[in-house]
A and B are shown apart, each in its own frame.
Chain A
């Protein structure tokens, strides 16, 4: 197992280095073969490890790689550690990554910079694998920032577009706000535990209950403040309410990137972190309440925005944000198994939805606005069925007690756990989650109906007009403009089919292990047996609530976008300011610009012009110069520029001073 772990983690790194340094000299095909090959190898080694863990009671494997830092009592090394939690992430990361690599053969086939793209993808995978195999908090932080770098590079991949550059910076800087919390959390953890090793911290965490510490002049419960600081990091990476603003903008990156990084893997790192440190969070009930509330609020808030957006990728991006909220409040109520299960199923169906969207965008000549889609069902049938599978999975279609698609199992488990936890935060999260389930169903079906049903509205799109060389007037009655969307090439369809299987089956196959099997987890997360029991005992209406919400959402979407298409505009008109508030994403960007960005530049100019130049220089060196200039003619020579004379004077002075003291 040790060798396979090393191969899994370092094969993508080697591939990234070769493809990245070779770049255009290497050529497109070799770069693609090397990176994609490395990922399929990594994927091939990951599944046997996961299946082994699925058997139950497998202890963690630790592979030391290299010494990293030793400073006084602080030591941390490069070590790979694989337990159940990591094994799950290994299959998620390597499978989705391998499929996205393959998909990109088709999607990026016209791009002149393919080796660079594939090198970034593989680099990302390496960093993500370092994150999930971390045995200490600092290596986790390495992976954390490494995926941030890859995300920055890939969002900015089409760097000629100014919007891509801006989105890349925004992603990095907003994540750094979270990282500020993460870093302080690590410092505090080290101060308290005298180690950064995760297993040692988790062992000692329960003993810290009741201890107190001062942070920023306030007295805190130790575990509460540490967990809250670490959770700020998780909020940044997983785009939770307040630190979410970078995720929708990150859609500037190529669509395969959105599928891999901004849906299936990187953004789930925060959830992974909370689960990885679950014994720590269990010792901090107050922090868990915060996690629950933030998760619940995010899942609701992002879903509302998802219902109003027109850009197909943005809808899915807000959907991701919302689904991450589910995972967090699951963790917040102590159902770490359910959180990880939703992470697992979500990785498949959300990657599927993004890749499907990419296939639609590809067919529609880079048009991303759903207002210009319509009637694509027959033109691109495989994409349609794949996205249908994804939609059935995300909305959680299924029959209680019988069977269902992937999301049915994981989302229902989360809602049941929230209700069963019995806390008021859990209860609030349950209701928020149920409403969000309704909204999820609405925006997902809205997306599907707008794209695949109805009459084609293609000629309204500038991209299509550009292609067919017609204006809507010239096209007249024929709203297709004579444009023929084509189904995507095989390399793009294979990942869609594979992920569809995942979206359909992942729930049913793995639900027992993830939710109920303590021996599967084998201590990798804090397993709350009591909660599992109460989950079974929730009232029937609780079990049904998600399905009911799903049906209502579907019916409303069907009525508004198929039955009576004039309804949405009328509703938007009716709601007026509320609609605009939601449509403009709750005004977060405007608010942050006003509160943080503009003042930062203003302060910078103030400190520069009024501070450095207006005060320090004026009364310091320039003031002195002025005095000197006004003084004797001898001093005026200071301005002459004969620097050697200063040096001479200084040395003479020095010799004189020494002579005076010593003799």
Chain B
């Protein structure tokens, strides 16, 4: 790439677009936003194609000292690359999804989304921990605005709840970050990732970071902001919330909690497993009884994020890679599910499941695509959801068969609530006349959904494209965690008088 600061360019393009949108009327603002996000997508593809798989850990680094050791430092590894790709892929979709449904203060709306894109890319690219923190927290501001201004009837309550939860975690994390910077004398994330904090300090630091990441994830029991936020947010807001914002917590854990505090992570493994297991079972059961479509999918997100956290804390390669694929897969699939809800919401203006029914008759193409994402959500092999679930749960199994067993029940519950939803919406007779009169999806909606279908299949059939860039980073992390990794509960033992060569299986199976 020579010396071209591509990451800065990716921040600058939407930023300029955002400012331009603020001063434009509706029509122009839409075009500006679309173009800016598409340019960023192209830049993202250039970034991916120039990423040297197996090369240096940190690539495309940029650094400019600002003041007192606080740097403007950018750079990415494979993990960040994949999450940036997810962000730039979903952004044009968000703009497209808002094309006709947003008519109020369009300029500001588009500016909020573009600003969000800047901040999301910033979070994943930041190499300075304070810079990360600013992006990380500021990323929520446009989201507050999107829910609070363009949201549904109860938007103030939802945005307030969102604010309250995140505020709580952020304050303690900031204190922890400041302590870390003083202790280690550096603000550089790569340096901190290999810095050995004293084990007793790790415990407190881990908990401080956990407070913030658990809310962002969200993990049970600090998840209750998510259903409300989703229900009140406009479609594109839900897309970006489920698609990218929910990945911040997982990214934080894999970037900070695990490498910086390996001993504390091992110590809290069971806390994470317990919360993950509760998340999978409890929120799946709650999803089963929902009658609001968006709430149902929001609860299913909590369950999926439970698999992510369990996979991350399995302390092995499969768990980590599975958790990463789950983040990417969930980013695509839940975003697409919210789009699917948006498609029929735009027509009927209700999220009440019982108001639909039998729409496979009048909207066959829609029903097919909705079914595809339903199946991807429940991890049907061939879609990204399967690779994600399979790898993370295989990782968890090596750490604990109990955790794996409980989390794997999610495949039953997930099938139950998603298919139950699908049946009530798409199957059965046409009971509501207005629902029966809805036209099938338009070209614009095809353009939004089909790329996600293709990406989901790609990740399901040939996930190597996505795994390869992350492989080395995960291996480094796995090596860093190796000394702290707790032993699995399998305790495999060979029978008496068996050949010695078989015995190595135990050692490798952590």
How distant is the Cα of A215 from the Cα of B178 in the complex, in angstroms? Answer: 44
Q: Is the contact region of chain B dominated by helix, strand, or loop, or is it mixed? A: helix
Interchain Cβ contacts within 8 Å, total number = 249
Known: A146-B381, A192-B492, A657-B174. A183 touches B393 (CB 8 A): yes
How distant is the Cα of A166 from the Cα of B416 in the complex, in angstroms? Answer: 11
Q: Is the contact region of chain A dominated by helix, strand, or loop, or is it mixed? A: helix
Cβ of B452 to closest chain A Cβ, rounded Å:
17
Indicate the size class of the contact surface on chain B: 35 or more
B461 close to chain A: CB less than 8 A = yes
Known: A213-B492, A607-B285, A639-B160. A71 touches B467 (CB 8 A): yes
Residues of A within 8 A of B489 (CB): 214, 217
Cβ of B433 to closest chain A Cβ, rounded Å:
16
B267 close to chain A: CB less than 8 A = no
A73 close to chain B: CB less than 8 A = yes
Known: A69-B464, A215-B401. A658 touches B130 (CB 8 A): yes
Stretch at the interface among A173-181, A293-301, A378-386: A173-181
Stretch at the interface among A340-348, A418-426, A640-648: A640-648
A490 close to chain B: CB less than 8 A = no
Query: Which of B286, B402, B416, B463 meets A173, CB within 8 Å?
Result: B416
Asked if A160 and B358 sit within 8 Å, CB to CB, the answer is: yes
Asked if B285 and A169 sit within 8 Å, CB to CB, the answer is: no
Asked if B509 and A641 sit within 8 Å, CB to CB, the answer is: no
Known: A72-B316, A183-B393, A662-B69. A216 touches B423 (CB 8 A): no
Query: Which of A168, A180, A192 meets B505, CB within 8 Å?
Result: A192
Asked if A641 and B285 sit within 8 Å, CB to CB, the answer is: no
Cβ of A13 to closest chain B Cβ, rounded Å:
11
Known: A191-B397, A601-B289. A646 touches B415 (CB 8 A): no
A625 close to chain B: CB less than 8 A = yes
Stretch at the interface among B89-97, B141-149, B241-249, B333-341: B141-149
Query: Which of B287, B317, B495, B499 meets A210, CB within 8 Å?
Result: B495
Cβ of A582 to closest chain B Cβ, rounded Å:
29
How distant is the Cα of A607 from the Cα of B496 in the complex, in angstroms? Answer: 49
B493 close to chain A: CB less than 8 A = yes
How distant is the Cα of A152 from the Cα of B426 in the complex, in angstroms? Answer: 14
Known: A149-B380, A639-B156, A662-B69. A187 touches B397 (CB 8 A): yes
Asked if A621 and B494 sit within 8 Å, CB to CB, the answer is: no
Stretch at the interface among B74-82, B200-208, B231-239, B404-412: B404-412
Residues of A within 8 A of B360 (CB): 159
A48 close to chain B: CB less than 8 A = no
Residues of B within 8 A of A70 (CB): 464, 467, 471
Interface centre among A71, A152, A624 (most CB of B within 10 A): A71
Within 8 A of A (CB), among B378-395: 380-382, 386-387, 390-391, 393-394
A145 close to chain B: CB less than 8 A = yes
Residues of B within 8 A of A156 (CB): 423, 427
Q: Mark A248-265, 1 if CB is under 8 A from B, else 0.
A: 000000000000000000
B310 close to chain A: CB less than 8 A = no
Residues of A within 8 A of B222 (CB): 620
Within 8 A of A (CB), among B357-400: 358, 360-361, 364, 375, 380-382, 386-387, 390-391, 393-394, 397-398
Q: List 20 A-B contacts (CB under 8 A).
A: A172-B415, A180-B411, A180-B412, A184-B397, A188-B490, A191-B492, A193-B505, A216-B401, A603-B285, A605-B289, A608-B290, A620-B165, A641-B160, A643-B149, A647-B138, A650-B141, A658-B70, A661-B178, A662-B68, A662-B70
Further pairs besides A142-B381, A208-B495: 12, Cβ < 8 Å: A145-B386, A160-B361, A162-B429, A169-B420, A173-B419, A210-B495, A210-B498, A214-B491, A600-B413, A608-B290, A641-B159, A654-B134
**Residues of A participating in the B interface, judged by any CB pair closer than 8 Å:** 23, 66-74, 78, 138, 141-142, 145-146, 149, 152, 156, 159-160, 162, 164-166, 168-169, 172-173, 176-177, 179-180, 183-184, 186-188, 190-194, 204, 207-217, 222, 600-601, 603-605, 607-608, 611-613, 616-617, 620-621, 624-625, 638-639, 641, 643-644, 646-647, 650-651, 654, 657-658, 661-663
List of 6 A-B pairs having minimum Cβ-Cβ separation, nearest first: A210-B495, A72-B317, A187-B397, A604-B289, A142-B381, A165-B427
**Residues of B participating in the A interface, judged by any CB pair closer than 8 Å:** 67-70, 130, 133-134, 137-138, 141, 144-145, 148-149, 156, 159-161, 163-165, 167, 170, 174, 178, 181-182, 221-222, 224-225, 227, 282-283, 285-290, 316-318, 321-322, 358, 360-361, 364, 375, 380-382, 386-387, 390-391, 393-394, 397-398, 401-402, 404-405, 408-409, 411-413, 415-416, 419-420, 423, 426-429, 461-464, 467, 471, 475, 478, 488-499, 502, 505, 508-509
